[in-house]
Amino acid sequence: MLHLAIQTVEKPDNFCLMDDDKVIFQKFIDGTDFSSDSLFSQISKALGENKIEANEIEFVTCVVGPGSFTGIKSGLSFAKGFAYGLKIPIVSISSLEALAFSVRNDFNGDLMAMIDARNKRVYAQGFRIIDSKLQEKSDIFVDEIEKILKSHKKVSLIGSGAIVNSEFIKSLGDYEIIQESIIDSANAGILGFGKFKRKEYFDAHSIKPIFISEPKITLN
């Protein structure tokens, strides 16, 4: 089963063409342009080079946040348009779940996935990994790092929120920071394939972003 997974929530944007849980093609996109500019041309090119027609794609996995507001909007809008045009479903994956899933084979124990939300705040979610199985231990939330770590003493940390703030985190205690911060569309795609098989998907109308933070009220 052919499917497409896209991730634009944090740089570098990247996408995957997949067959079930196998990666056929993956591309990381550099640059600071609107994500959809590059996504459109790169996905179009990748389909052509891999001799895949767009209408052979059976579903799209989209990393829907939390993370960069612009990135979330850009990737989800693209996924909604693509899925609407092809009348196919969209699987929603959180950026934190994709991050934690990336170390499932190399880690055992409690893990806090963190994405930088600026000013020593992070979007975060607790996970437990045992024998390569990922379990959610909390809902997604946004808070100050200091507050989070006060109530989580024995936890390893992963993601841009931990890496960007590593010096500050060291001042708060002896926490293991896993040096992995890229949100990988291949991991999102594998998770997405599992959810698709369990029929945990949305149509283009009902898929929703995960923003967590309220928008800053600045009048135009």
Partner 1 sequence: MKKDILILGIETSCDDTAISVVQNGELVLSNIISSQAKFHEKYGGFVPEVAARKHIETITFVLDEALSEAKVNLEEIDTIAVTKLPGLQPSLVVGIGFAKGLALGLGIPLLEINHLEAHIYANHLYRKIEDKPDLKYPYVGLLVSGGHSELWLANSPTSHKLIGSTRDDSSGEAFDKVARMLGLGFPGGPIIDKMSQDGDEMAINFPRPMIDSPDFDFSFSGLKTAVRNEIIKYNEGKSETHPNARSDQKLSDLKDSEIHKEIDNNWKLDIVASFQEAVIDVLVSKTIRATQDLGLSTIVLGGGVSANSRLREMMGRKAHENGFELYYPNIEFCFDNGAMIAGLGYWYL
Of residues 30 and 53, the one with the C-beta less far from partner 1: 53
Residue 90: CB atoms within 10 Å: 25
Q: How far is the CB of 70 from partner 1 (least distance, A)?
A: 6
Of residues 81 and 194, the one with the C-beta less far from partner 1: 81
Please give the Cα distance from 192 to 179 (Å, whole number). 24
Q: Which pair of structure tokens corresponds to residue 164?
A: 């960007």
What does residue 13 show for φ and ψ, rounded to 5 degrees? Answer: -60, 145
Of residues 179 and 215, the one with the C-beta less far from partner 1: 215
Q: Interface residues for partner 1 in 158-217 (CB under 8 A)?
A: 204-205, 208-209, 211, 215-217
DSSP character at residue 9: S
Q: How far is the CB of 90 from partner 1 (least distance, A)?
A: 10
User: Considering only residues 14, 35, 94, 165, which one is a binding residue for partner 1 as defined by CB under 8 A?
Assistant: 35
User: Considering only residues 17, 39, 140, 148, which one is a binding residue for partner 1 as defined by CB under 8 A?
Assistant: 39
* 32 binds partner 1, rule: CB under 8 A: no
Specify the 3-state DSSP secondary structure of 136: strand
User: Considering only residues 43, 100, 115, 157, which one is a binding residue for partner 1 as defined by CB under 8 A?
Assistant: 43
* CB contact at 8 A, 186 and 5: yes
Specify the 3-state DSSP secondary structure of 13: strand
Specify the 3-state DSSP secondary structure of 212: coil
Strands 121-130 and 141-144: antiparallel
Cα separations (Å) of 143 from 100, 153, 176, 196, 208?
18, 16, 19, 31, 22
Q: Interface residues for partner 1 in 45-104 (CB under 8 A)?
A: 53-55, 69-70, 73-86
Of residues 84 and 141, the one with the C-beta less far from partner 1: 84
Of residues 39 and 117, the one with the C-beta less far from partner 1: 39
Sign of CA dihedral 124, 125, 126, 131: negative
User: Which residues would be at the binding site for partner 1 (CB under 8 A)?
Assistant: 34-37, 39-40, 43-44, 53-55, 69-70, 73-86, 204-205, 208-209, 211, 215-220
